[in-house]
Amino acid sequence: MGALRRDTTKLGDVELELFEGGSGPSLLFLHGGGGPVAGAPFMDRLAAKFHVIAPSHPGFGGSNLPLWIDSIDDFAHIYLELIRLLDLKNLLLVGHSIGGWTAAEMATKTTDRIDRIVLAAPVGIKIGPVDRLDIPDIFAMPDAEVDRLRYAEPDKWRPDPTKLTDADLLTAARNRQTLALVTWEPYMHNPKLKHRLYRIDRPTLVLRGAKDGLVSHDYAAAYAGLISGARLETIPDIGHVPHIEHAERFVEVVERFAGGPR
């Protein structure tokens, strides 16, 4: 697992799988719909500069899923409680995809313990007409097509199912089931979130890969435009998962933003 150690923590009836490691300013990383990425190279790079806390969302990885949890807003409340429990302050909050959506929901409620925010390929708002999806329907297409939308080089990053254990396959299926539960209706957004983003009062970076087939440039730009002072940065030649496709470049952007002027 590299620089991060695995632990569990309990918040009411929620048992969270938690990966933690490194030293320096605190960084809370919220993963996307593909599931936890604690063993990925970008995590070790972040842990070289930050105290990294990377939970698995309820229903993902090794975290349980109480019956009452059915929305990204539930995730947001759980992580605000986690921040309080761990007494994290001056936090760098980084979220990818649905993790970015979760981070945005959190920051519209309170930023007392948050210093800066990075939203990488975030979803969660509706900007287009009601009869057209802003985010392609990943549940209605083959995995190969989803991979083409996610990755700039899908053949390089597509997992080989023959190398996955039964436990890996079960976890992947559970991750996908939970993803559908929290994003299905309304699809990939909270209708109220875009009306609340103005409340975010911390420096915010919206980050997007230029070859992202799920989050368009217009969508990311609209997201940034709804947050006062937010900046949009595009990384060339990378798709929807910049932290996986080019760990070094992703971490460089995060570090630069974390150390930049307010």
Return the ∠ at Cα 205 (arms to 203 and 207), rounded to 5°.
175
Percent of the chain with pLDDT over 70: 98
Provide mean pLDDT across the span 221-242. 97
Residue 90: name the closest of 112, 119, 108 by CA: 112
Q: Which residue has the higher pLDDT, 39 or 103?
A: 103
Give the per-residue pLDDT at 1.
Answer: 44
Q: Where are the domains of the chain?
A: 5-259
Residue 186: asked if its preceding bond is cis (omega within 30°), the reply is: yes
Q: What mean pLDDT value characterizes the chain?
A: 96
Distance of CA 8 to the CA centre of its chain: 20
Tokens of 126: 């509706």
Cβ atoms of residues 106 and 93 within 8 Å: yes
pLDDT of 174 over the 50 cut: yes
pLDDT of 261 over the 80 cut: no
Confidence band (pLDDT; 50, 70, 90) for 158? Answer: confident
pLDDT of 127 over the 70 cut: yes
Q: What is the per-residue pLDDT across 40-96, written as a single tens digit (0 to 9) for each?
A: 999 999 999 999 999 999 999 999 999 999 999 999 999 999 999 999 999 999 999
pTM reported for the whole predicted model: 0.97
Strand 231-235 versus strand 114-120 pairing type: unpaired
Whole-angstrom distance, CA of residue 42 vs CA of residue 246: 8
Hey, what CATH class is 5-259 in? alpha beta
